[in-house]
Structure 1
Amino acid sequence: MKTISINNKKLAYTVHGSGAPVMLLHGFAEDHEVWANQVAVLEKNYTVIIPDLPGSGGSDKLDEISMETMAETVKSILENEKIGQAVVIGHSMGGYIALAFAEKYPQFLKGLGLFHSTAFPDTEEKKETRRKGIEFIKKNGAYLFIKQTTPNLFTENYKLKNSDKVVTFIEHLKDFEAESLIAYYYAMIARPDRTLVLKNFSKPVLLIIGKNDIAVPYKDSLALSHLSSTTYVTILEHSAHMGMMEEISKSNEALESYLQGIFK
């Protein structure tokens, strides 16, 4: 892993392959490893950069965690790698960060992707769910929270057939710090509506949508598909919120098709 320092905080990231630059941003309670199945394919034709977002994996938590401060770390990595423009694709919370980055630094983007993510703000109901999550984490810690909530991100069928993979995924995250998860939750609650960012974004947008996603509902994701002038949409019929694991081939095909369209 590579590391850079931002305000005396360590930010870790991996770089794979060579070619046109693509950055993949992981979601809440994840780290760079969530993209392992995508790296194996994309690194053959692209330079794939994957940060551990601040407070995740090998990266220190920032003093202030918001979508905007985490977007600044994206810029710092691109500058450190001397990359003028890249495609940035974010999963879930990573998509919120990609949108914050697109709002402030559209000139750095060749394309923008939302993988099980949305430009809509939290509903009041969603905010309340996150607040309950914060209270649970404060009381029970991060590991028990991840152990209880992560299985809900997969379809029942996937869990039935791949229970070992779900357990391995959860165990990999057992050292997550409660403070980071709580900070992410507050940051997600506070994030604004960024549908205008998609409307104003002049480059192609990628939407990968899980038909059975309860974290980012299918109908809400579809409502984003008409906002941009050019949108690539893939619906993963057999996925909930973790399509990069649930439907690996279809996810990779969607990413490759989009990137080929960008870098043709």
Structure 2
Amino acid sequence: MSTAMPFDTDAALLTEVTAAVRTAGRTLRDRYTSHARGVTLDEIVHEIHANDDAVLDVLREPLLQARRGSRWAEDELAGGALPPGEWWVVDPAEGNINHVHGMDDWAVTATLVRDNQPVLTVVHLPLTGDTYTAVAGGGARLNGRTLKVSAKTDLGAALIGTGQARPGEDEHTFRRIGDSVTAMLVNGLVVRVSVPATMQLIHVAAGRMDAFWQFSDVRSGLVAGALLVSEAGGTVTDLAGEPWHTGSRDFLASAPGIHATARKILSPSA
């Protein structure tokens, strides 16, 4: 059964969610160092979990209280469709691996997903203070300024990106990533391969990049960017060309003018 809500109801929630995410961002910023923390794998994993736990301590309850009856998607690396209803899909430290290595590509994200479609999102970058927001049907914004995707129509002029969704993917996925990067290097202008996905997707939404693809169904890395790009006028599908949702197995978000060409290159059998 559909749980569709009026746009005004979702829009009214945005201020509260933005405040909660910015508060959580201060916690993550206070934990940041400009040098790498951890040498062994165990040490790095410990730092990553410590970041997650610290942010969730201040973020989880405010979000659940903001939307009564909503549920929490526990595993940030999980993929696939969620049960019907409203779920918070949150990454308390999107780009956590960058944070613990003293780099600056990280954020706090919170997205309300309704019946497997993102309907509201906040992406906050604590080091710059920038906040990206979107509500389904209401456009995408950066610090209140409307965002619009690139107007490019030539893939040969496009800045495009991809990245690894999670550690320990199977060898087939890694080879598929490698083959797709090669294909895009041949057909595009420049290819960025980096993590996390959200930090590339905000650039697509803002028209700074032209496309991003990923062979993954990890929800927390895609829901925020999917909504931002679509609300900024972009096209977001799976590689079969079907509208993307949390149950999709792969992902392509791009400026409309290059989407068909990019999808053909990434899915030669399409």
Going by fraction, where is helix more abundant, 1 or 2? 1
Common fold: TM-score over 0.5: no
TM bucket (normalised to shorter chain) is under 0.3
